Structure formats: structure tokens, C-alpha cells
């Protein structure tokens, strides 16, 4: 699927380019576009990742303020959603469907 990569920074939206994400969650940037270094780093690190972590609710009966996460391996149907969440949370980059 094709996504526009939008950087959210200083209250502004800046389009960084477009990417295609295949079924395995591998990001393929559009060719010929000059990429922002932060965007390039996001692509490199994401494509190298074999797993993603997502936040999940703690198990029933867990102590108050317990944090929990799930490991999502590449190829899992939830991987692309985890990838998009990581892009937003850690890089400030929204992957918006085109």
C-alpha cells in the first residue's frame, strides 16, 4: 500500500515523500526524491527490524500503573500497524494512506 510520509514538527506538517509498504512490512521509498535524514533513518531502522513492540493493556489484576507491550514479528498481520505507530511515536512521522 502507498503512504504519504508527513513530518509533524513545530506545529507544522511537512510532506517528506511517499513510500510503498509491502505485505512483509518492508518500506520502499519513492525513487528520485531527496529524503530528509530523519526519514531515511526511519526507513533504514524499520526495514532492519525483525520485530515491533506495541503497547497493550496490562493483564487483569496487574498492579496499578503497570505498562505492557506485545512483540509483533515481521510478517504478522499487525506488523504494519505497529510500524505506523512507531513512526508516529518515535519519529513524528505519520504514514497517511494515499
Q: What is the pLDDT of residue 36?
A: 79
pLDDT, tens only, 50-93: 999 988 999 999 999 999 999 999 999 999 999 999 999 999 99
Domain that holds residue 80: 2-49+76-97
pLDDT, tens only, 32-48: 666 678 889 999 999 99
Asked if 74 contacts 25 with a C-beta cutoff of 8 angstroms, the reply is: yes
Per the structure, the count of domains in the chain is 1
Residue 65 counted as domain residue? no
Q: What is the pLDDT of residue 31?
A: 72
Residue 68 counted as domain residue? no
Residues listed for the chain: 98
Q: Name, in order, each residue with C-beta under 8 angstroms of 95's C-beta and a sequence gap of 6 or more.
A: 3, 4, 5, 6, 19, 21, 83, 84, 87, 88
Residue 58 counted as domain residue? no
With cell 514479528, the residue in question is 73
Residue 10 counted as domain residue? yes
Residue 30 counted as domain residue? yes
pTM of the model: 0.83
Q: What is the pLDDT of residue 34?
A: 64
Amino acid at each position: 500500500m502507498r503512504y504519504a510520509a508527513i513530518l509533524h514538527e513545530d506545529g507544522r506538517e511537512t510532506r517528506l515523500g511517499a513510500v510503498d509498504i509491502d505485505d512483509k512490512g518492508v518500506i520502499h521509498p519513492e525513487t528520485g526524491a531527496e529524503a530528509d535524514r530523519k526519514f531515511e533513518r526511519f526507513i533504514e531502522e524499520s526495514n532492519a527490524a525483525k520485530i515491533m513492540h506495541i503497547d497493550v493493556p496490562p493483564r487483569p489484576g496487574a498492579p496499578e500503573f503497570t505498562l505492557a507491550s506485545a512483540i509483533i514479528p515481521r510478517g504478522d498481520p499487525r506488523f504494519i500497524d505497529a510500524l505506523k505507530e512507531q513512526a508516529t511515536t518515535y519519529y513524528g512521522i505519520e504514514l497517511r494512506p494515499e
